[in-house]
Structure 1
């Protein structure tokens, strides 16, 4: 019975983790295909990052399958082999740490471009570096001390890795939500977009932090069980799906902004705090300053042209409220890019 219990403890969590891993990897593959199909004109750095994360995550998924195969097929019933952590354990730790760091750096760069808060962004980069270093230390310890009875040696680096990684996820999500809260609008559609951005940010940041925390709790409860690794099998997939979710949802937000513009609204009712964004095209979301007016359906073209001509000669007489309105509109659209890319 003791031998059977040991087999279940070692192989059961890994088998279940590989099933969940397969489901998430299928979703990830679909999102990768969708990204490269829908956004062929994205910056090459972004496309290279997506490809790199997917390749590393693919290697991690293969490693998880190899681990299950070695325990359940190749060395089934070999109690000496079952008492050790095979090579796939440190491999999963390394790949998961690298993928998490890449995705978090991607999100921090987008936050820094939007908020221009360099000091806080540097702090986030330091925490990411700490988590990555701790993950490598944990992987090295597993490789040097493969016995399950030696897992106590992992406690300090494992806790440092998971806690710093989860804290980074939460801080990034909270920082973006605070930026969204700074941008306020009296328009129902605009406020709806901001609310959706905030909810999406909390959901994605919360998902990665929850998976990491669950793996840590499982490790602290039973250090000789493979439940933590079974959970970690899916951690890399969750991070890559978070990044792809941000990238692939830009068109939906863009359509929402387009609908607001077509619906017509007076641009003097926007309010915002903080720096405004620059004009330009950032990966499919066009950032621009504009005056928006309510247009009569019958005389729309004429009124629109008159408004455009008037705006060209109104720079010297533009009021402070109108300037704040233009800054706020750019702030709202900047927030779309920061969350979605």
Structure 2
């Protein structure tokens, strides 16, 4: 690049360097997703067909995203190396990658909206609908941005999508926050107070511990996606970083897919099959309650029986939510 001016060399470093570093992270996260995918199909070979279809769809989009960004990197670092003119045009992989990551995020967030509806025992439909609306809003905004990028070939035209990128971020963040809050409420707060007070009645029931693990994994995945999106939007609006704003953008599809896989893999697996042990726990609890109930007589027996009926209602709701999560 000795024949180029200092300004042209800086442009190449910021553009090509950002794409190369981002592509390396893209390959790294793709490997993590493939590892989690192998774990899923190994643990749940008899899982529901539409669960498998969701995984295959999201992983396929991640592979397409990774291949497209790989071609983009090759074109800028090899085919058009040290060619400032080529860097002024938007590569076809850029809008394609944006569409794939938005679609992958939509699929995963809709999956979580359905899961929230299931663990609410199909009673709360408002929150899932709001999550779905926010997800669809973000996807529509990205589709509009993809249209702009596809019809305006110059890199300078990226400024046209700057005003609406915050709408995409807001919709996606809002959906992730609602998902996280709903999971915490339905798998923890709703049962914790009363079940902890009455846990001695049925010590064999360990759903709260399992719920806690599920909640932690969900929060971690959502925080990761929120961080990646915030970094991408923040760098996009900083003209001094060049194409380094795609450093997390190229990983977003993999982050969402990994979140889906973590949710599916966190279910109970028995002998490598996607079957839940909650039913066995429930039956064991019923035996314990019957055995304990027979130890009391007179008025004491009646009061204990009433108390355990109330406890059983809450434990039954917790187990129902647990079963819905395991079978969902």
CA distance, structure 1, for counterparts of residue 13 and residue 234 of structure 2: 20
Any conservation in 2 of the 1:212–1:235 contact (CA below 8 Å)?
A: yes
For 2:315, the equivalent position in structure 1 comes to 329
Matched, 1:72 2:77: yes
Structure number having the greater helix percentage = 2
Matches within 5 A, 1:146-295: 146-179=153-186, 180-184=188-192, 185-186=195-196, 187=199, 190-222=207-239, 225-251=242-268, 284-288=275-279, 289-290=282-283, 292=285
For 1:265, the equivalent position in structure 2 comes to none
CA distance, structure 2, for counterparts of residue 77 and residue 113 of structure 1: 55
Any conservation in 2 of the 1:218–1:228 contact (CA below 8 Å)?
A: yes
For 2:3, the equivalent position in structure 1 comes to none
CA distance, structure 1, for counterparts of residue 256 and residue 324 of structure 2: 17
The CA deviation at 1:49 is: 0.7
The CA deviation at 1:193 is: 3.2
CA distance, structure 1, for counterparts of residue 214 and residue 37 of structure 2: 21
Q: Equivalent residue of 1:244, what SS?
A: helix
Q: Equivalent residue of 1:76, what SS?
A: coil
For 2:291, the equivalent position in structure 1 comes to 307
Q: Equivalent residue of 1:225, what SS?
A: helix
The CA deviation at 1:284 is: 2.4
Gap change, CA 1:16 and 1:26, over 3 Å in 2: same
Gap change, CA 1:202 and 1:337, over 3 Å in 2: farther
Matched, 1:53 2:61: no
For 1:84, the equivalent position in structure 2 comes to 89
Across the two proteins, how many residue pairs are aligned to each other? 299
CA RMSD of aligned residues (A): 2.8
CA distance, structure 1, for counterparts of residue 28 and residue 153 of structure 2: 29
CA distance, structure 2, for counterparts of residue 151 and residue 243 of structure 1: 31
1:123-159 Cα offsets, whole Å, 9 max, x none, are 1111111011011111111111232222110113322
Q: Equivalent residue of 2:263, what SS?
A: helix
The CA deviation at 1:203 is: 1.1
For 1:34, the equivalent position in structure 2 comes to 39
Q: Equivalent residue of 1:285, what SS?
A: coil
Q: Which has the higher contact order (CA 8 A, sep 6+)?
A: 2
1:17 to 12, 16, 22: 22
CA distance, structure 2, for counterparts of residue 166 and residue 338 of structure 1: 26
Gap change, CA 1:290 and 1:219, over 3 Å in 2: same
**Structure 2 regions of 5+ residues with no counterpart?**
1-5, 295-301
The CA deviation at 1:294 is: 9.0
